[in-house]
């Protein structure tokens, strides 16, 4: 009987520690289980929209810049961050979503309880990470190899298509790979390149096509060239005019735009 009591006395502290650790594990950290790819999305509320303008055929320089830019965006993602990759075409209804996924990985343990009670499989996370990267590479390969040479570019309404839902949380970041030369049913290039900024904004208001980018950081990559066969550089005056329009467009939507050589610059 005394031997039994002695054993129980030594066993109780271990049992108590187990119960305490289980109580402290909580819904995050040690409580996270990566059963499906969508589970990773619960680890972050950050999201990036990456739009690729396919209305101009990519040359070798475009292909390199696009790959480097997407690579920079992906490298900047943290575990659980969502990335959506979609296309810009000659009409917003033709936009295609190529990727909608969250970056796999296990959360960093928050302490001893998470270390002991953690249930995220690092092996599965690594496998999911490989599939995630393969999906991104496949979508980019498709875009580069099958780029269309369309007569128009419905940039504004495509942005609206992906950002316009008032019930959805705004994106943390938007990256747009495009020359940003609007030429659509709503605003033809002849008007976009010549009308004053106020008139262009009035047209957007008439069509309900204003930006909805509250708190969003927007980065434009690939800007600065014309649509001609030589892909000539934009004349300085036109360059300044279009930068001014896009800056105002995103600012009135609540965001800030930056023109960069590539994502990460």
Rounded to 10 deg, the angle between the 60-75 and 122-145 helix axes is 160
Residues 6+ apart with CB under 8 A from 57: 147, 148, 149
Inter-residue contact 171 to 216 (CB < 8 Å)? yes
The residue extents of the domains of the chain are 37-108+120-260
Banded model confidence at residue 13, pLDDT cuts 50, 70, 90: very low
Q: Does domain 37-108+120-260 have CATH number 1.10.3430?
A: no
Position 144 scores a pLDDT of 81
- The 10s digit of each residue's pLDDT in 160-217 is 999 988 777 899 999 999 999 999 999 999 999 999 999 999 999 999 999 999 999 9
pTM: 0.83
Residues 6+ apart with CB under 8 A from 113: 21, 24, 25, 29, 30
Worst-scoring range by mean pLDDT, 6-15, 32-41, 64-73, 192-201? 6-15
Number of alpha carbons in the 13 Å side-chain half-sphere of residue 255: 25
- The 10s digit of each residue's pLDDT in 76-114 is 999 999 999 999 999 999 999 999 999 999 988 755 555
Q: Cα separation of 228 and 233, whole Å?
A: 10
Nearest Cα residue to 177 out of 81, 56, 90, 77: 56
């Amino acid at each position: 009987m005394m031997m039994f009591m002695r054993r129980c006395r030594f066993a109780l502290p271990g049992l108590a520690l187990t119960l305490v650790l289980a109580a402290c594990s909580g819904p995050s950290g040690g409580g996270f289980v990566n059963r499906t790819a969508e589970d990773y999305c619960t680890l972050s509320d950050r999201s990036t929209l990456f739009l690729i303008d396919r209305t101009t055929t990519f040359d070798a320089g475009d292909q390199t810049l696009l790959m480097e830019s997407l690579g920079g965006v992906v490298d900047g993602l943290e575990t659980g961050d969502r990335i959506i990759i979609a296309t810009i075409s000659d009409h917003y209804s033709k936009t295609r979503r190529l990727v909608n996924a969250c970056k796999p990985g296990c959360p960093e343990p928050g302490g001893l309880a998470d270390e002991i009670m953690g249930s995220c499989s690092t092996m599965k996370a690594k496998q999911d990470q490989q599939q995630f990267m393969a999906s991104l590479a496949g979508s980019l390969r498709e875009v580069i190899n099958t780029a269309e040479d369309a007569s128009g570019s419905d940039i504004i309404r495509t942005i609206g298509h992906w950002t316009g839902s008032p019930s959805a949380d705004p994106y943390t970041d938007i990256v747009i790979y495009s020359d940003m030369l609007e030429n659509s049913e709503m605003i033809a290039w002849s008007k976009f390149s010549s009308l004053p900024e106020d008139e262009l904004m009035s047209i957007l208001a008439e069509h309900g096509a204003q930006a909805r980018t509250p708190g969003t950081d927007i980065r434009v990559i690939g800007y600065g060239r014309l649509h001609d066969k030589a892909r000539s550089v934009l004349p300085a005056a036109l360059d300044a005019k279009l930068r001014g329009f896009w800056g105002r467009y995103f600012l009135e939507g609540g965001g800030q735009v930056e023109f960069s050589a590539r994502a990460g610059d």
